[in-house]
Amino acid sequence: MGGEAVLIAAGGRSILLQIADPAIGHGVAGHSDFASRPLDRLRGTLTYVYAVTFGTREEAAQATRHVNRAHAPVRGQGGDGTPAYSAFTPELQLWVAATLYDSAVTMHELVYGPMDDEVADRLYREYAGLGTALQVPPELWPRDRAAFGVYWRRRLTELRTDATTRAVAAQLLHPRTGPLWLRLAMPLGRLLTVGLLPPEVRGLYDLPWSDAAQRRFDRTLRLIAVVYPALPRRLRHWPKEHFLRSLRASMKPSTSG
């Protein structure tokens, strides 16, 4: 389930949910290259997700080390009502993993329809490892989907934004740098990101949304739901295979010298 490329379309939703936690948002804001290098973050996140979910133990360990190195400088000092933040804080790592899981489920069901319990439980087990492979103790991860639902609804009520985190969101949604194809794709990316957000989180960011935008969003999803499942599996799973191949290549001993 987690290998479907269409789930990547919910990546922006995950990030905006993550930084709506004030501690994460301020930690990210102090990490100067976060918003200016979105493709690097996407590459790192996807490599980690695919390695932990589909890779070998050694590949998962290598991807985890890469994530830990990237997280090391991401810290917030706190103050003005914002708690101090370290990217290694278990409760905040749990929230990051939770946003990846919930976004994947949301996107999958919009494309394929509701999952039966067996498939849903399997996807939940796949994503549980994303948090526990880092700093989330297994007992901190909700024991089942029902417990996750309780946790998720509570956490949504605790989110808030301010000028700092809204500025980070604006940078991510309106990049001024990066390859031309990324900037050309951003109108679609913004539509999907904003449309996938829970309405209350959309409001926290003061993101405009209208009946016309909702109709465009609905039409886009209907088109994706028709076209995407008909694609060959090798195309639907190409990102997974690509990032795993790149990780494996990076792990090969150098023969130079």
Burial 86-111 (b: 16+ CB within 10 A, else e): ebebeebbbbbbbbbbbbbbbbbebb
Q: What is the pLDDT along the chain (257 residues), one digit of tens a residue?
A: 678 999 999 999 999 999 999 888 888 777 656 666 667 777 888 888 888 888 888 988 888 888 777 666 666 555 455 556 666 688 888 999 999 999 999 999 999 999 999 989 988 988 888 777 777 888 899 999 999 999 999 999 999 999 989 998 998 898 877 777 777 888 999 999 999 999 999 999 999 999 999 999 999 999 999 999 999 999 999 999 998 999 999 887 744 44
Please name the amino acid found at residue 34: F
**What's residue 123's pLDDT?**
86
Who's near 103: CB < 8 A, 6+ residues apart?
Answer: 7, 10, 11, 13, 14, 17, 196
Token pair for 103:
């976004």
pTM score, whole prediction = 0.87
- Report d(CA 189, CA 173) in Å as an integer: 8
Rounded to an integer, what distance in angstroms lies between the CA atom of residue 7 and that of residue 196? 12
What integer pLDDT is reported at residue 74 of this predicted model?
62
Distance CA 44, CA 66 (A): 8
Flag whether 132 is in a domain: yes
Is residue 144, in this structure, part of any structural domain at all? yes
How many other C-beta atoms can be found within 10 angstroms of the C-beta atom of residue 164? 17
Q: Kindly state the DSSP code that residue 169 receives in the 8-state scheme.
A: H
Angle at 248 between CA 243 and CA 254, to 5 degrees: 130
> Domain containing 87: what range?
5-251
List CB contacts of 45: < 8 A, sequence separation 6 or more: 11, 100
Q: Is residue 59 part of a domain?
A: yes
Q: Is residue 70 part of a domain?
A: yes
Let me know: does 247 contact 134? Beta carbons within 8 Å.
no
For residue 256, tell me if it sits in a domain.
Answer: no
Q: Kindly give, in sequence order, each residue whose CB lies less than 8 Å from that of residue 256, ignoring residues fewer than 6 positions away.
A: none
Question: CA nearest 45: which of 56, 29, 36, 34?
Answer: 34
User: How far is 15 from 24, CA to CA, in rounded Å?
Assistant: 10
How far is it, in rounded angstroms, from Cα 47 to Cα 230?
A: 25
Collapsing DSSP to helix, strand or coil, 202 comes out as helix
Total number of domains constituting the chain:
1
Cβ–Cβ under 8 Å, residues 24 and 18: yes
What's residue 52's pLDDT? 86
Please report whether residue 216 resides in a domain: yes
257 belongs to a structural domain: no
Evaluate whether 108 touches 41 at the Cβ level (below 8 Å): no
Asked whether residue 243 is assigned to any structural domain, the reply reads yes
